[in-house]
């Protein structure tokens, strides 16, 4: 091999141009290799009997051996580190690469690599372990959601107080069509309302919703079977979708959302940094204008833009929106007292007497209150804000010989005729003997 250190690609290119009939100076100008190096390569081919046509048929190792002068000292052979064993040893507490390198040197003596090359071998091995499977997204199948890290400051025009709004981002998997809005918090009511508005903006519902492991929505984060909040489950049932949260500490499960959040931070939030907003609605108006511009921005490597891809792919595949919008409701667990009532926010509501001392689930909406036992609705009432009063349905009261004395309770106004103005509700309540 010539003494000049050239790559095998450069050597082959010099030979190829020589076969085409170029002289040595022209080859040097074309390849960027010095004239002396070109002369050495061609002389080595002649000296060792390697024809120019044979160079194309030899692999890199065979070509290097063919051009190596006879009797030239062979390069030293170093022991390759066992990177798989090193990787397992590094999992031990207190283990260092320095210690493993010293053990490697003791085992192989003068044929050992220096510490820098030892670490380079291990670093290349670790990088080869980080493989990712490309996800294939079907039109209308998945919607990925997340919150951006930066916030948008909103100034109170009267007090000057600055409140920071959270940035919600939703992106469709197939078309990358993005929806962005600002909300005051990341609590469950705002989380659900943001998803509802995102579906309304899309004009339909995806089959799967892939959010982050938000504490408000995911009661128990698990790699395989996460437990969702009751309100989040009800929201998914209402819209006919299924919520599959990304696994904890696995951001690649929602890579679409992670990438979209980065784009939103660069193309939207960075452009709003000099603007001052006095209401949440003002910030959302500015965000929606920039999001519409972002969705119309041409792709860098694909034809069209997000808006065109959405109209062509995702929109026809989305499931229709429900007829009525989702009514936000909270859930709680209550125990039925011996007077067949449960207490919710200081007011008392009746349930069937057979559920006395049982634990029931209560769904609290804006105007109504529903009671469930073993997934069956057993009672429904209009909500009442009168503290300490009772809302009682006559059919819920026990009938039979085992009755208690009459109990007086303050009545809530307008409870289906059970109370008379100025008089308490009087009901007979049975107690099991």
pLDDT tens digits, one per residue of 42-82 = 887 777 777 767 776 777 777 776 666 555 555 567 888 98
Closest CA to 55 of 93, 3, 18: 18
> How do 425-427 and 227-228 pair as beta strands?
unpaired
- Strand, coil or helix: 377: strand
356 or 366, higher pLDDT: 356
pLDDT tens digits, one per residue of 4-21 = 456 777 887 888 888 788
The yes-or-no verdict on residue 408 having pLDDT over 60 is no
User: Residues with Cβ < 8 Å from 375, sequence gap 6 or more?
Assistant: none
For the 142-317 domain, the top CATH level (class) is alpha beta
How distant is the alpha carbon of residue 375 from its chain centre?
31
| C-alpha–C-alpha distance, residues 147 and 337, integer Å | 42
Assign 291 a pLDDT band (cuts: 50, 70, 90): very high
The yes-or-no verdict on residue 100 having pLDDT over 90 is yes
Under a CB-based contact definition with an 8 Å cutoff, are residues 107 and 90 in contact? Answer: no
Q: Over pLDDT 70: what percentage of the chain?
A: 87
49 or 169, higher pLDDT: 169
User: Residues with Cβ < 8 Å from 184, sequence gap 6 or more?
Assistant: 163, 165, 166, 190, 280
Assign 415 a pLDDT band (cuts: 50, 70, 90): very low
Q: Over pLDDT 90: what percentage of the chain?
A: 37
Cut 0.75: pTM above it? no
Output the average pLDDT for the chain.
82
């Amino acid at each position: 091999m010539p003494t000049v250190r050239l790559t095998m690609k450069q050597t082959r290119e010099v030979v190829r141009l020589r076969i085409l009939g170029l002289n040595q100076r022209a080859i040097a100008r074309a390849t960027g290799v010095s004239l002396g190096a070109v002369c050495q390569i061609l002389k080595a081919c002649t000296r060792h009997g390697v024809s120019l046509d044979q160079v194309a048929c030899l692999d890199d190792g065979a070509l290097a051996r063919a051009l190596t002068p006879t009797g030239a000292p062979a390069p030293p052979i170093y022991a390759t580190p066992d990177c798989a064993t090193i990787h397992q040893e590094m999992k031990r507490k207190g283990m260092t690469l320095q210690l493993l390198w010293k053990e490697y040197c003791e085992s192989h003596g003068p044929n050992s690599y220096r510490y820098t090359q030892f670490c380079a071998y291990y670093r290349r091995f670790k990088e080869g372990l980080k493989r990712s499977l490309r996800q294939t997204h079907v039109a209308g199948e998945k919607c990925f959601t997340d919150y951006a890290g930066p916030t948008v400051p909103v100034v109170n025009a009267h007090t000057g107080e600055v409140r920071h709004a959270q940035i919600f981002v939703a992106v469709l998997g197939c078309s990358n069509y993005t929806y962005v809005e600002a909300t005051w918090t990341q609590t469950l009511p705002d989380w659900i309302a943001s998803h509802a508005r995102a579906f309304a903006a899309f004009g339909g519902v995806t089959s799967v919703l892939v959010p982050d492991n938000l504490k408000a929505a995911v009661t128990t984060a698990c790699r395989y079977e996460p437990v969702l909040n009751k309100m989040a489950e009800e929201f998914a049932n209402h819209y006919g979708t299924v919520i599959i949260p990304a696994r904890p500490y696995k951001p690649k499960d929602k890579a679409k959302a992670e990438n979209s959040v980065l784009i939103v931070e660069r193309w939207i939030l960075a452009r709003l940094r000099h603007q001052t907003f006095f209401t949440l609605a003002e910030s959302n108006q500015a965000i929606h204008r920039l999001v519409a511009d972002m969705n119309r921005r041409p792709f860098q490597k694909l034809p069209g833009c997000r808006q065109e891809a959405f109209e062509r792919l995702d929109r026809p595949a989305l499931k229709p929106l429900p007829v009525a919008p989702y009514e936000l409701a909270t859930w709680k667990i209550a125990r039925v007292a011996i007077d067949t009532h449960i207490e919710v926010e200081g007011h008392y509501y009746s349930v069937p007497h057979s559920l006395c001392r049982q634990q029931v689930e209560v769904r609290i909406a804006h105007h109504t209150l529903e009671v469930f036992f073993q997934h069956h609705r057993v009672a429904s009432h209009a909500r009442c804000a009168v503290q300490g009063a009772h809302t009682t349905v006559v059919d819920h009261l026990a009938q039979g010989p085992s009755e208690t004395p009459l109990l007086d309770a303050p009545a809530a106004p307008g409870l289906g005729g059970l109370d008379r103005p100025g008089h308490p509700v009087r009901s007979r309540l049975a107690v099991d003997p």
